[in-house]
Amino acid sequence: MLLYEHPLSSYAQKVKIALREKGVAFTAELPESFGTGSQDGPFAAANPRTEVPVLIDGDVTLFESTVILEYVEDRFPDPPLLPREPAGRAFARITEEVCDTQYEAVNWGFGEILWFRRADGELAAHLRAQAAAQTRVLQDWLTGRLGTAEWFGGRDFGWADTAVAPMVNRSVHYGLGPEAGSPLALWHARVRDRPSVAKTFAEFDAAAAKMAAASDLYTTGGRRREYRDHRLEWMVKSGGVEVVLAGLRNGNIRFPWPGGAH
Ligand SMILES: N[C@@H](CCC(=O)N[C@@H](CS)C(=O)NCC(=O)O)C(=O)O
C-alpha cells in the first residue's frame, strides 16, 4: 500500500495510526508536487484536490481521511477501531468530525502564524490569543466526552482516540496542551505511549523541527498554501481577513480545485 502523506498533517497521522494499530504495512511518501496545487503528475491523478492523505491499495485509490479510515476498517476488521453498538459508533464519528473541522482549523491557524509567519505585531498576538482561547473550548469539550474513561471509546482504544491524538498532540507542541494532571493530559500521556502513536508523533516531531526552513518555500519559493473551508473560515472569523488579502496580493495562497488559482 502506498500512502501519500505529510508527517505534519493531522489527517495523515490519523490514517497512519489506524494502519499501524492494525499492523498493516505501507509505504509513506511525500508527493513531489505537494503544496503547489499542480494538476500534473501522479499525486493530482490520484486526488484532484491535491491534498494528503491519499491511499493506493492495488487498483483502489482513495482520498479524504474519513473515507480512507472507513476503508481500512472494512478491509482490515481486526482489531476493530469502531465500537460494535450503533450509539458508540456514532459517538466516535462525532468526535472525529469536530476534530477534523473545528479543532484542525484552530491548529492550522496557529501554524499559519508560528510557522508561516503570516502576521506580526498586534495582529499576530490577536490571532494567537484567539487560537489559545478556542483550543481551551475544544479541549473542555473533549474532556467532557472522555469523562472518567481510559479512552474516548471507553475501555478500548479506538476510532475517536485515533482522531483526537494528532489534534491534542499538536496543541502540546504549540504550548497549548491541556493542564498538567488533567484527564485530557493523562489521556495524552497514555496515547503517546502506544507504539502506533509514538512512531507517528516521532515523524511529526522530525518534520516540525524543519518547519522554519520549509515555510520559506511559501513566502519566496513559489508554493501556495491552500486556504479552504474550515481553515479559511477560521482565519476570517478570528480577525485575520487581512492575512487572506495579503496572501492573495502576494500570490502565496490558493483555493481548492477546481479553479483554485486566481
Ligand atoms: N478533508 C481532507 C483534508 C485534507 C487536507 O486538507 N490535507 C492538507 C494537509 S493537512 C493538504 O494536503 N493540503 C494541501 C496543501 O496545503 O497544498 C481529509 O480529511 O483528508
* Last residue of one domain, picked from the residues 31, 47, 75: 75
* Last residue of one domain, picked from the residues 75, 104, 123: 75
Residue 114 lies in a domain: yes
The per-residue pLDDT of the chain, averaged, comes to 96
Residue 52 in contact with ligand 1 by CB distance below 6 A:
yes
Pocket probe mutation, ligand 1, options 3, 4, 11, max atoms within 8 Å of Cβ: 11
In this structure, are 68 and 125 located in the same domain? no
From CA 243, how far away is CA 57, in angstroms rounded? 39
Residue 47 in contact with ligand 1 by CB distance below 6 A:
no
Residue 254 lies in a domain: no
- Total domains present in the chain: 2
49 CA from centroid of ligand 1 (Å): 8
Query: How would residue 202 be classed by pLDDT, with cut points 50, 70 and 90?
Result: very high
pLDDT at res. 212: 77
pLDDT at res. 204: 98
CA distances from 123 to 130, 134, 157, 235, 254 (A): 11, 16, 40, 11, 21
**In the predicted model, is pLDDT for residue 260 greater than 90?**
no
In this structure, are 16 and 99 located in the same domain? no
Mean pLDDT of 164-168: 99
Residue 227 lies in a domain: no
Residue 169 in contact with ligand 1 by CB distance below 6 A:
no
The CATH number linked to 100 is 1.20.1050.10
**What atom in ligand 1 is closest to the CA of residue 6?**
9
Average the pLDDT over each of 34-38, 186-190, 224-228 and give the range with the smallest value.
34-38
From CA 227, how far away is CA 234, in angstroms rounded? 10
Residue 249 lies in a domain: no
103 CA from centroid of ligand 1 (Å): 14
List the domain range (segments joined by +) for residue 13.
Answer: 2-75
**In the predicted model, is pLDDT for residue 179 greater than 60?**
yes
* Last residue of one domain, picked from the residues 46, 75, 104: 75
Query: How would residue 261 be classed by pLDDT, with cut points 50, 70 and 90?
Result: low
Whose alpha carbon is nearest atom 8 of ligand 1? 51
Query: How would residue 3 be classed by pLDDT, with cut points 50, 70 and 90?
Result: very high
18 CA from centroid of ligand 1 (Å): 18
Mean pLDDT of 45-58: 97
pLDDT at res. 222: 76
Mean pLDDT of 131-152: 98
Residue 166 in contact with ligand 1 by CB distance below 6 A:
no
Residue 90 lies in a domain: yes
In this structure, are 147 and 93 located in the same domain? yes
pTM of the model: 0.97
Mean pLDDT of 71-100: 98
**What atom in ligand 1 is closest to the CA of residue 36?**
17
From CA 211, how far away is CA 116, in angstroms rounded? 9
212 burial class (0-12, 13-18, 19+ CB within 10 angstroms)?
Answer: exposed
215 CA from centroid of ligand 1 (Å): 16
Residue 224 lies in a domain: no
In this structure, are 69 and 92 located in the same domain? no
Mean pLDDT of 129-141: 98
In sequence order, the 6+-apart residues with CB closer than 8 A to the CB of 40 are 33
C-alpha grid cell, residue 105: 482549523
Residue 14 lies in a domain: yes
Whose alpha carbon is nearest atom 1 of ligand 1? 64
CA distances from 114 to 117, 151, 257 (A): 6, 31, 26
**In the predicted model, is pLDDT for residue 247 greater than 60?**
yes
**In the predicted model, is pLDDT for residue 262 greater than 70?**
no
